[in-house]
Structure 1
Amino acid sequence: MAVAPSAEGWAPFRGHRTWYRVTGRPDGGRPPVVVVHGGPGSTHDYLLRLAALAEDGWPVVHYDQLGNGASTHLRDAGADFWTVGLFRAELDNLLRHLGIQDRYVLVGHSWGGLLSAAHAADRPEGLRGLVIADSPASYPLWRQEMEVLRAALPRGVDRILRAHERAGTVDSPAYVAAVRVFNDRHVCRVRPWPPEYVATVMEIANNPTVYRTMNGPSEFHVVGTLRDWSVEDVLPDITVPTLVLSGRHDEATEVTVRPFQERIPDVRWEVLEESSHMPHLEEPERFHALLVEFLKGLDA
């Protein structure tokens, strides 16, 4: 590996910079675990607890995808700039910059899981294993299931949401409060929200350019450029061992996750019963144990 352990830096990318942090010692014999965060337009902060894998011998790489966090912000870039291809190329570039492209594991969360699946479907030689956490296999399925979850919200909440979505007033306090009702049920059920999750929420609020462009104003109102994107068709091309994780109360419902189990040849799916979209924060011990078990299996 080309960088020192427990180091931070920037990888040059198309005239911009991708921030990264490496935790752990790369000379212990185990492949680095690259953590691919959600959003799009999120940051690494809410996934920082995965750095604990370094204590078990796996170096951990966190990074902020272009447009947010400590990476280059591009508030004026148009929708034609923020593409899946951009973020796939950024991940490839980071692997090469760190010198780990010949041996690594990906852990992708939410949008990061779809991005990681698309990467894995290209069958890169250095990829040793894949973890897809709390991710839908397609945004059409996601949008379908959002209707189911919205209909089950407390009386009047969805009516408030839809009124503001029709009016375009999604920044109003009433809309934000109604979004919180959904998020408390299906995104993070820990009270109060853990500080690392709050940090990511604040980063998105500080610069929602990527999130609003590719996703939309909320988790359940997906009107951005990803609204019709899916990785379902390429899942059979994934040849590495794959662990799929989701929460029983997850906004990534079982319907949206099931294609991973049905189409990836070497796959195991675990549902965390007390979690929603953040099992690494809601059931951290169970989540960590599942990751370590999977990673040790790759060693074997």
Structure 2
Amino acid sequence: MTTDTPPRADGTTRAEETRRSEGTTRAPANLADLVGDADAFLAEVWGNRTAAFTCEPAGALLSTADVWRELDCGSLVVPYFGVLREDATPTAAGVSETRIVQTKPRPGYAKPAAVRQSVASGHVFVLRQLEDWNARIGALVDALRGECRAQAGADAYLCAAGSDGVPARVDGAHTLVVQLDGRTRWVVGEGEHASETVLQAGEVLYVPAGRARSAAPDDVDSLHLVISLQQPTARDLAELALAQFLKGSAAAEIAGSHHFRSPAQKAAWLRTELRAHLAGHDLAALAQQAVRLRQREGRA
């Protein structure tokens, strides 16, 4: 495994430590805020290679103090939190309880003391689906969903120094990791092709879809945000285009007369009409429709 940090795509140098801006610093709200030149990123980096960027106001999205505040306020409930134990799937087992709300028992509320004990013993605390309940992160995710034409979701991971961190994971989503507090050591890839980099607060790491990745705190407590961006597959686009064709006028017109045609005539009709249907498609609009459809069906 190599230990070369990927070069910064925005040409900046790494500072020893990024200071979080005080006061009313604007939180990152779009792709350019995270990676600099968004057009260059999408044309040269997206889907091609791992790359690191500097985003000094990243900490305005969420802080470690914010995480503990959310836990202590008493409103965290499943599925919006979990703890990593044996694998990369968060669980609320052992860190949740049932409360009486409006005279009825409601399960799944976070137990602050149990969560703190779990983190202190080396487990990772996860805030899930932040785009649904954190306004700053929700605005960023909404912007990325449109800019990248992808289904999007965001989770935050709080890792105590010395913990094992987040186990290796590989999936079909592109990933933007935003380091919010502390430092996280990332390993991307497998075997001799793996690379390692340490993200400090105010830095961003992009990992293309299909690359294995794992993370662990360096030598201090760490908080990072993982934004997953799942683009529609070729099958998603084909199924959507076909569904639209079957609901169109050409399919409606032949519905009452297709039984008078031979199989060869039906095949010839289908080739002609389907080709015309596809030729008239706005591919960008089709991709956006597929993203919205996937968003209704579930998260990335």
Structure with the higher fraction of residues in helix conformation: 1
Q: Based on CA coordinates, which of the two structures has the bigger radius of gyration?
A: 2
| TM-score (normalizing by structure 2) | 0.27
- Bigger proportion of residues as strand: 2
